[in-house]
Structure 1
């Protein structure tokens, strides 16, 4: 450890031979050569040994500890006794390769952080095929990193390349929009690449990539004859969805992000998520941001998707008079707890019959259960994900899956097939990772709970200053309805 955290070091030890060939030893010399940079380091030990063995009659042993080295570099090390013999000097030689920043033991070292070792960009993209006559646009969304102020975002395929630079400017997430004409596009398959510029690796940093296949995109355009869609039900109109959820755990947050990507890339749905709109959230504030989206959805055909989980149920019970809930991820998030104000704003509208169809309630049955659904939502369908995702998506589209004599299907959205695309596979992996974690940590939710800490209480106090949470003493549907009407 140094003042910044963990560092990579080499520790050496060597033993002096006791074969009688050397009468007096004056010292040892250790040479380090960094093969990656050609920089060298020489260390000399000075001593005077006239006896072949130390006082306890064992061989003399020396060590050199704590030589700081760079991750992922290779070193040539040699050790030579002094004085050097007249004939060929006898050296100990070895080659050492230091683990890189992908090794979990060193990822949080300052030098690795400055190379982006912990950066997870959470790349998402959405495609608007109806941008205008002969045009389409691609919005690229990703999370910025601590030690990179500038990024270059590129989309390219054979014979085609387009790049844009963007600066972080104190934002936690960034959006870059590309607009093209169909005539510019030589083929459907494209590669999205983000190049960061971290303070250490500069122009030679890891560049995350993502594939885009416009021909499989399930949104019709006026040029659909030129761009084929999968067989099955054809999506005629793009919809928007606001996702409401609780930050129960980092692995659950990852599931929500992967679901957002799947809805966007595979289903052609424009998704509103607080994690991906931190700039506007910072300007409007959480209550105004939520209320603005709710009003937009109330006056359109778009939907609000409520993902129920342990945290949703616990926060709902807290609103009904139970002990307040402080989750570790809420304390870490600059937005704080977004779920409680969302429930306060939206449950009254949900109860009204005129707004009922705007809300969709779902949960991931591999990591949550139907018991996690708050009581007001028991009066509507609860969709199990990903088993009933296709049914949920038909609900987003305001279309019936079962019609007289017809059962509609959308290719690639069933439980057996959704993971056959890249975004679906990432979503399945995220669900399986959290499921495995829950099996190993049956008390995982209790472990995420915090006492009223300074950070958590500040977040809650900020929210209390802008909204009075509705309190329900008895959370069954009839009494909730009565209380709201009052």
Structure 2
């Protein structure tokens, strides 16, 4: 037991040591006698029972600021401020505390302002007592949960005592974050200037190293052939790597060169620099003469055409002014012919087997009627089983590079419940997540994509929708309040215009697309299947008002055991074998 206690205390000390702290540690108001301490959020006072406790803080404001430390390095610092309520609970206030937790590691740190004497109702200036903290250094690319509460905390099963907000720190790809010490140590300012020269049967690659990195891996690939080599900086200002072209076919012209740095802070997981090169020779020297003659001939023809048009305009007879028809106010258009089919990544929660059927029917409708390429986990279970959920989502994000590619989040009761679970309101596990071969895709999606969603210019790639007949706006998490919410199938036409990046309301006309509106989407086979699936799930909800509570499970093993029993109950017909009768001995002959 003592050994376990020592290990737990050692892990907690490592978690606290992972935080960078920038002083000084003073109270935010002059004349306030208090003591500021930073610790690992474990308090012996939790074991005490208090008859009276103060009310919770209010007006929590959080932001991220960039400022220099004592060494002159820029660091992203948390700026947090909150106020105390001016009610009777202030007489029982001993301290107020700030708790910051990193989502990716669950490491947390607390900043406590301990009061040396009882506070009056308001400050000497007549305003509410306010506190602020700006001493915690954050890591770029991480998401934090910031909470404040007053000490002593209320007892178990009492009212909530904390106020929380989520802070997303931009990653090192952000222009401002690139100048921070954290990102510089990971190569954010490194510009290698990759060059490649083909000499005889070799390919010579040159680049400029970073002063903070000593080791690099140079990777050259073409088609399915990949070759790499290690190189070290030493005292050189330019590094070279040579590759033999004998390993590639003679017809290979396009090569991809990647420089993988191994910085001390990120190891083998640093950002790579890439460049595409073409080593095939250009056109021959006689080509410019042919191009000159071509341009001269085209210019003469163009001049003659322009001259002919001008003569026709000058010599034609004047006509009566034409009557201009009134503009069309409502125009029915067919889907535009686009060069590349837009991709749509569909994210949802497996609330029920009937709701999963609705999602699959919607994906079929998008592909059959709208001509989009749908990416959904249920149609790619093999890849997810091989690489895992997180890598599969990361791979999908890399595929959605085209501006017309979108991410559609279908909100339901499960989506809201899982978002609240991420915010600390208790874990949620659904029956279909346990039985599904892909497990829950929503929670890893929120962890991976939320920082990217709040970047400038990325909001247009994300779409939020819900089926009005089986869900409601209350099922949309607050994190999606910054975007437009679409009701399906009422607003499906607007959602499809969003996928195409086309404005529905244009000057003097309103565009419509036949066959996808709320009144006529069920005219096609895929639309009829979708409408039938929605109505089936809606009828099930009316017959079972507590359906969602039944889908929430506590024990995964119990669900798996029930599923196994159902499979064992299947009556499999026996396999019969026909064995010929073999008689031993000589045959008998009867005359």
Return the TM-score normalized by structure 2: 0.38
Which protein has the larger Cα radius of gyration, Structure 1 or Structure 2?
2
